[in-house]
Amino acid sequence: MLHEELKEQALSLKDKSLELGKIVNLGAKKKRLGELEQAAADPKLWADQARAKKVLQEKKGLEKEIANWEELRGGVDDFAALVELAAESDLGGLAEELNRLRRKADELELAALMSGRYDSSNAILAINAGAGGTDSQDWAQILMRMYSRWAESKGFSVEVPDLSYGEEAGLKNATLCISGPYAYGYLKSESGVHRLVRISPFSSEGKRHTSFASVEVIPEITEEVKVEIDPNDLRVDTYRASGPGGQNVNKVSSAIRITHLPTGIVTQSQSDRSQHANRETALRLLKARLFEMMMEQRKDKIEELRGEKKKIEWGSQIRSYVFQPYTLVKDHRTGVEIGDVQRVIDGGLDPFITAALKEEINE
């Protein structure tokens, strides 16, 4: 009986993988990968570093996406063959393999269904400490670590072009550039206020303390989206990159702050020792911010880019992280709850991201 059930489930999973393969158009992706491989083999490509980086990033993303689909298809075929040959004593192990393949299929399904205009883009994620003083600044740093760990678990790269440290501990704000296939599509639902409840390590009273920090996620703008910037509209300031307590990271003024005078938007970068590299990064962030503003002004569904802007305080949170008197992380939009708060802040965000994506798809 169990043999028949596993055969039926294997067939169902195979049909699902084939249907999803049609949705993502693997043939077109393989053709595009071939074009990128040719471009990467051309020595002239390296004359334009920005284009070379973009080509290699797209190539790496497609290689990983295609490999994942091939792994799923091969795994499903191998599983079906094993079910035919397996003895009754081996069926428990096959059931575990079936669950693994299902999880992989679900993950690929989410990626396949992320069809928003900017879902495939890299993400720019900004974290700002809110109400709660030093505790909130410490919370902002914990969130930065959480998102960095999540990104690393996906094989995404993380740049931190700008950090502003708190006076005693933690961060006032941080900007992360997260690069990888569908980084924005995954992270867009993280925009909002995140609430922390714990016994404060910065208070001798031993009482529970509530802290807040906001997360804002916008897509990184590519060359295909034109954002014209008049150099005369920019004020560029240089300063020394600094670390906690005002310690100078660089002995020269390599950090760059760019102010767009007509809008007052300010972006900055201090992660590189090269002033030129920091300027390029700050301009990249400015283009994304200006594009976001353009979309707001045109009322072109700005909530799809960053969600509704809310105050960083009580009553506006999208998710709560409770450390005492019990441990619980609850998403107030989807209702998803996880009791292991440590696992979540170690980067275990997938259940929340998956629920938000499914809810968006079903709307």
pLDDT digits (tens, 9 = 90+) for 242-296: 665 444 444 556 788 899 888 888 898 887 778 888 888 888 888 888 877 776 6
Structure confidence at residue 19 (pLDDT): 76
- Give the range among 244-258, 282-296, 309-323, 331-345 with minimum mean pLDDT: 244-258
Is residue 31's pLDDT more than 70?
yes
Is residue 72's pLDDT more than 90?
no
- Average pLDDT over the chain reads 82
Region of residue 128 (phi > 0: left; psi between -120 and 50: alpha; otherwise: beta): beta
pLDDT in tens, 102-116: 888 877 777 776 777
The size of the chain, in residues, is 363
* Confidence grade of residue 127 (pLDDT, cut at 50, 70, 90): very high
DSSP SS3 for 328: strand
Structure confidence at residue 120 (pLDDT): 83
DSSP SS3 for 207: coil
Alpha carbon distance 289, 264 (integer Å): 11
Is residue 141's pLDDT more than 80?
yes
The rounded percent of the chain whose pLDDT value lies above 70 is 85
Q: Which domains does the chain have, with CATH numbers?
A: 2-113 (1.20.58.410), 123-221+315-362 (3.30.70.1660), 231-297 (3.30.160.20)
Structure confidence at residue 312 (pLDDT): 52
Q: State mean pLDDT over 217-225.
A: 76
The rounded percent of the chain whose pLDDT value lies above 90 is 29
Alpha carbon distance 363, 78 (integer Å): 36
Torsion angle in degrees (nearest 10) through CA of 304, 338, 349, 292: 20
pLDDT in tens, 13-30: 888 777 777 777 778 888
Is residue 304's pLDDT more than 50?
no
Structure confidence at residue 340 (pLDDT): 95
Alpha carbon distance 251, 143 (integer Å): 29
- Give the range among 81-95, 215-229, 252-266 with minimum mean pLDDT: 81-95
Q: State mean pLDDT over 52-58.
A: 82
Is residue 300's pLDDT more than 80?
no
Q: State mean pLDDT over 89-100.
A: 74
Structure confidence at residue 60 (pLDDT): 84
- pTM for the model stands at 0.72
Chain CA centroid to CA 147, Å = 7
Interstrand relation of 328-331 and 337-338 (parallel, antiparallel or unpaired):
antiparallel
Q: State mean pLDDT over 135-140.
A: 95
- Give the range among 82-96, 177-191, 342-356 with minimum mean pLDDT: 82-96
Q: State mean pLDDT over 153-157.
A: 91
Q: State mean pLDDT over 334-347.
A: 95
Structure confidence at residue 302 (pLDDT): 38
Most confident of 87-101, 152-166, 259-273: 152-166
DSSP SS3 for 131: coil
